[in-house]
Structure 1
Amino acid sequence: MLEFANALPFKPAMSLLQTALPAARLGSSQAQRLAQHFGALDAMEELLQSPGFDMPVPAEAASGKSVLYIQVDGGHLLTDDGYKETKVGRLFCGQHIKQVSSDDEEVMLRNELEHSDYLAHLGHYKEFVKRLDPLIDNHLSKHPHAKLVVVSDGAEWIEKWQSECYPQAQIILDFYHAAEKLCEFAGMVFSSAKKQRTMDCQAQNRAARRAGRKSHTGNKDKSLGQALCHC
């Protein structure tokens, strides 16, 4: 029951399990109570804070360091008591990103993560990072020379947490929020006609990025102004 409830929402999980055990009397509330009971155990918290993968040292890297990526985000979920703040975190190693699509240019590039650690928290970010920090620290205790990269959506609490707890980490803005900020900048700088061309160009660049093709805005030696002028 816990396996099904972990993979699906409670009601469809029990409906699916009922097909395998037609004689059993199963309910979504029963599954929810079991999941909440076992989820609140100290042993479960210890498991969530233990590294679920190892970080191989990339032979091709000049520094010989692995890269540990830390993705954090937040939002609000509707509960019985109204909307509540929710935070999520995901840790993965750069060497665990694998391409699953073909190299055909007509096929959209698709990657997947072979291994990752995931943690979610219903509540304020201060309580969330109290649970996330031990997981990060446990990874670093096994790989003290690993490079840290925090992937952020630009929220102030993420920058505050990173600067206080992991000042050695590099923080970067995720692609979708970076593209959003570039479009906002283009709207302030360029006329309405050029704005539309710029937005079309940004859409083409996003499509090219998804397809694995290098867009002209991705060139390291080209400035933002040059890239927008090409549009």
Structure 2
Amino acid sequence: MTDYEMFVERVKTKTGIDLALYKEAQMKRRLTSLYEKKGFSNFVDFFKEMDVNRELMDEFLDRMTINVSEFYRNGKRWEVLEKKILPRLLKASPRLKVWSAACSTGEEPYSLAMVLSNHQPLSQVSISATDLDENAIAKAKAAIYPERSLAEVPAQMKQKYFEQEGSFYKVTPDIKRTVTFKKHNLLNDRYEQNHDLIVCRNVMIYFTEEAKDQIYHNFSKALKPGGVLFVGSTEQIFNPAQYDFEVEDTFFYRKKG
């Protein structure tokens, strides 16, 4: 057994996180640069220290999850969501059950709330946002972002829903109130059911084919018939029918029924 395989086994026993479900080359590269930075020369010694050092464990979790996000990422897709997808969903159900899965540092669920605010009062908007990384969730709850994260935010939204604090921008309380954050592991934890919309973007590329297959099946079961899965711009599902999906638009998949 290689030292990486031993590391994978020990991490799974300690945390329940199965690194074998992530693409090995990418994960190994990311974690090797972390342990070298910390002065270790192999995965076994790295784990020994991680086992007793909470701070190092948190840093490991932060590194293995991919916290690169921004508001309205790939703006044209958000336009499709606003003008085509949401009007149909809201016609069927005026109070949508929305889940932002693998939400990272919160830009995505807050973007969702802003888009929904164009269709209904914020008092009717409720979004569940989950991530595996507690550090990312803490940042999401703080809701303070550098200007570069807002590059694609429409000007009127920036004016309405952000307060500038020095070189940072803070999400306004009325938007913050619409989002509930909690920890969730897409590969292990139970999925809530009856969602109208699930948004999970730019995370599936890091999983193995086997893991992706499992997650897409779970997303399908978690959606109502007619509900929609919105994925990232490098994450097209090539055989949507096997998950009971049909293409509603590029990167939007509607559950049949």
What range describes the TM-score normalised by the shorter chain of this pair?
A: under 0.3
What TM-score, normalized to structure 1?
0.28
Q: Given the two structures, how large is their TM-score scaled by the length of structure 2? A: 0.26
Q: Quick check: which has more Rg, 1 or 2?
A: 1
